[in-house]
Amino acid sequence: MSEQFSILIDSRSRFETGEAGGAWVSMPATREQLHAAMQSVGITADNSQDFFLNGYANTKDCPFNVPLEVIQRGSVDELNYLGKLLEMQRDEDKAKFAAAVTLGEYAGNLKDLINLAQNLDCYGIYPTVQSEEDYGH
């Protein structure tokens, strides 16, 4: 698996007390990687409600930028699925994904991002088009 983006897993109680830390996990991740990260910040089956997504980071290969709140409102399963979809994309499709997210129309929630990643064949990028006139020609 190759990293598409990373999420910062933390414990809400650690975060609220100001304790620095958290565990970065590359997406997509295996179940074992996720469990190890959660255990490293003190999240167990007894306190699973303490789970908190405290950040995310892009990679050079897949540079998309969405508000942190979009990431925080999603589930780890959705984030992992998005990571897997992006991992399967060709470079040109990753560029389409990043461009569509930058325009902001499809970055309101993780379901929109997943839908976008599954339907990139509906979009095209024309790097030489810089104006409406160029587009007309």
In this prediction the pTM is 0.82
Residue 14 CA to residue 37 CA, distance in Å, equals 14
Tell me the sheet residues that pair with 55. 8
Q: What pLDDT digit, counting tens, does each position of 8-42 carry?
A: 999 888 777 877 778 999 999 999 999 999 899 88
| Residue labelled with tokens 């160029």 | 134
**Opening angle at CA 20, ends 69 and 40, nearest 5:** 90
Q: What pLDDT digit, counting tens, does each position of 52-104 carry?
A: 888 899 877 777 888 888 888 989 999 999 999 999 988 888 888 888 888 76
| Residue labelled with tokens 């999420």 | 7
The dihedral through the CA atoms of 22, 24, 27, 28 has a sign that is negative
